[in-house]
Amino acid sequence: MRIRAFVIFATVLFFPWEATTSRLHHRYVSLETIVQQSMVIVVAQRVDGSRQERTVSLGQGVVPYAYADERYRVVEGIRGLDDIAPGAEIVVTSFSSSRLRHHMDYYLRGRSVSRSVTDYKPDEPLKSNPNDPRLLFLERRVFVEMKGATPRTRVDALGFVTPSAVLDVERKAEVAALAEALSAPSFLMIGIGNRDRSLDDGDEAAEEILRDWLRKCFPEHSSFSLEVVDLPDEHGAGR
């Protein structure tokens, strides 16, 4: 069907982590790589007490997918967020469409597989306190649920490009030079929660609604990287 073909041409990048449902194999990348993968690079400070736990329902009797949002106060922007002044707050989420999919594979289908996790290992351990300003390397994460042919944004926040994409501010000049020399990603990664299976049934109206909605809601992005996740009925039995 057409929407699946639309999804296939897009390059989907996965950075799952913190998983307890499968064996993880870490693949470490360079600082240059995480700079290239970062849509946003800022010096920011965690807002104390701002962490909020959230869940995605997967039906009765099924462990829900859990993630957390946390606010950070921007001290200085290195890349992106041109319209956000120092002192403004951003939301950083641990939500990941690929982690949601792996969670469902384990709890709904009993699958446990080995997975590769892309990460960054600094040359030296972080010196600063976790509550001090740090360099954050971030991507925009959007998750949209399709239900009744109506798109609804469930998540629209920033997330770390790799689990350890954080550096001490002493390396700001080095990072700023790399950000100037290396291009930022131009596409936006979007997860599509196919709650009522309208995208599976070849509903052309639903597909067109989704395409138009994406163009209107995210006009600043020229291309999208999409991942469709088939969600069970949140009010029905999960198995």
- Per residue of the chain (239 residues), give pLDDT as tens: 344 333 332 323 333 334 444 566 778 899 999 999 999 999 999 999 999 999 998 888 899 999 999 999 999 999 987 777 889 999 999 999 988 988 998 888 888 776 677 888 888 888 878 889 999 999 999 999 887 667 888 899 999 999 889 999 999 999 999 999 999 888 888 888 887 666 766 667 777 778 888 888 888 877 887 788 888 876 554 44
Chain segment 174-226, per-residue pLDDT in tens? 999 999 999 988 888 888 888 766 676 666 777 777 888 888 888 887 788 77
Residue 201: per-residue pLDDT: 61
Residues 176/204, Cβ–Cβ less than 8 Å? no
pLDDT tens-digit map of 33-44: 999 999 999 999
Burial 219-231, CB ≥16 within 10 A → b, else e? eebeebbbbbbeb
Strands 134-147 and 40-46: antiparallel
pLDDT at position 200: 66
Model confidence, pTM: 0.82
The string of DSSP letters for 204-237 reads HHHHHHHHHHHHHH-TT-SEEEEEEE-PPPTTSB
Tell me phi and psi for residue 67, to 5 degrees. -150, 175
Return the C-alpha torsion angle 207, 211, 212, 215, nearest 10. 170
Nearest 5°: the CA angle 94, 222, 205 is 85
Distances (CA, A) of 181 to 30, 40, 65, 66: 15, 15, 38, 37
* Dist CA 141 CA 146 (whole Å): 17
Neighbours of 72 (CB within 10 A): 22
Question: 164 vs 26, 132, 160, 177, CA distance in Å?
Answer: 12, 16, 8, 20
